[in-house]
Structure 1
Amino acid sequence: MGDSTSGDARLALDLVLTIRHDGHGGVAGDLTDPAGLTAWVHAHPDALPGADRFVADPATLTAVRDLRAAVRALFAHAVRPGEPSPADAARLLPVPQAVERLNAAAALAATVPVLVWTEDADPVVREKAASGAVPLTAVLARAAMTFLASPDRHRLRACHAPRCVRYFIKEHPRQEWCTPSCGNRARVARHHERHKKSA
């Protein structure tokens, strides 16, 4: 992914990409147990404050997986009129329910406005967490909201290479797949399909 992708977009996309093809025609998830979520959070130290100290419990795992389902539903909505990821096509949350779930998760972190006014700049109001700890689901929900409300949302695509269930952010006009290997698989599948029809 190129440098033009924001941190919020990267974090939201990384959450959705914890659903992947299992290599056997099905779908697998990386967040199958608390240890898997702990490892995923530890892999995002720049985006998730306190990632190195985070240890998931079953309730947090369930909350993050529920949030992931909402974000994937909203990603599927964002890529319209294109098709959603095949992993989502048959089991999407209705958009109002996904939005409600995202808003509820974001609301778990109470914030307060803080005035910042340095000597050589205009005053700026920033949001700061009202308490020290911000729940993981709130951070992830806010990242997804920021991405979905940004112009980057228009570059979001579902990869339709055979067996791929990923979403990606289109980095250049000719990009059709999430990775070069998906592009190769799609070209091989098209080649086989053409030869089967002409045989």
Structure 2
Amino acid sequence: MSDPLTLRFASTIRARRSGLTDALATPEGLTTWVRDQDLSPYLDTSTFTADEPVREQTVDLRQAVRALFAQAVAPTPPSTADAAALPPFPDALALVNATAAPLSRQLEWRDTWQERVDPTVEGDGARLGAALANAAIDFFAGPLPAQVRVCPAPRCVLYFIKRHPRQEWCSVACGNRARAARHYQQHR
């Protein structure tokens, strides 16, 4: 099962052996990430090319979304990746709502159900922000936030959706790393 767009967006910060990596660290990185996503009907990702101002706005939005994830897992501590750099929750919520506002969504029927999106803003950057903010609104207004957890594995900085009652980590690799660290501590 593929993760929701909002979780993939928040997961553009990852931990590697060398430290944190940010898929959105450069305009080229943002362009690559966006082209790998399905953002229709908001944005044609095949023609999207980011510049530095769009990258900065997108990173600010990602930090706001990560603040919403931090709120979703409270009172559990948030991800260690950027907990100190997250905006306050009210500011994060306001940014997500303001970024989502320029789109009008309507449901239509033409032999099948279809969503029609009327962007009231120009520019791919604004449409990208609106698409990501609307995805966050859909995600956090649904049932999944109750299942969001912070991965407790050493060095992992990801949030994940607990899909099974016994699931403790975001991935098998993190589970193995956590068990190895626990074994090392016990036999030290």
CA separation in 1, counterparts of 2:105 and 2:20? 41
1:21 matches 2:10? no
Provide the identity percentage: 44
TM-score under structure 1 normalisation? 0.83
Which residues of structure 2 form unaligned runs of 5+?
A: none
Please report how far the alpha carbon of residue 125 of structure 1 lies from its aligned counterpart in structure 2 after TM superposition. Answer: 10
Larger gyration radius, structure 1 or structure 2:
1
Which residues of structure 1 form unaligned runs of 5+?
A: none
Q: Which runs of 4+ in 1 moved over 2 A?
A: 45-49, 88-92, 116-119, 124-128, 130-134
Q: How does 1:36-185 map to 2 (within 5 A)?
A: 36-45=29-38, 49-107=43-101, 109-111=102-104, 113=106, 116=108, 128-131=117-120, 135-185=127-177
Q: Could you say if the C-alpha distance between residues 35 and 118 of structure 1 is closer, same or farther in structure 2, counting changes exceeding 3 Å?
A: closer
Q: Deviations over 1:54-105 (max 9, x none)?
A: 1111111111000000000110110112221111332221100100111111
* One-letter amino acid of the structure 1 residue matched with residue 34 of structure 2: V
Aligned residues: 184
1:11 matches 2:2? no
Please report how far the alpha carbon of residue 32 of structure 1 lies from its aligned counterpart in structure 2 after TM superposition. Answer: 1.1
CA contact (8 A) 2:105 2:116 kept: yes
Q: Deviations over 1:101-145 (max 9, x none)?
A: 1111111x231656x4569x9xx9966314586610000001011
User: Which residue in the other structure is 1:187 paired with?
Assistant: 179
TM-score under structure 2 normalisation? 0.87
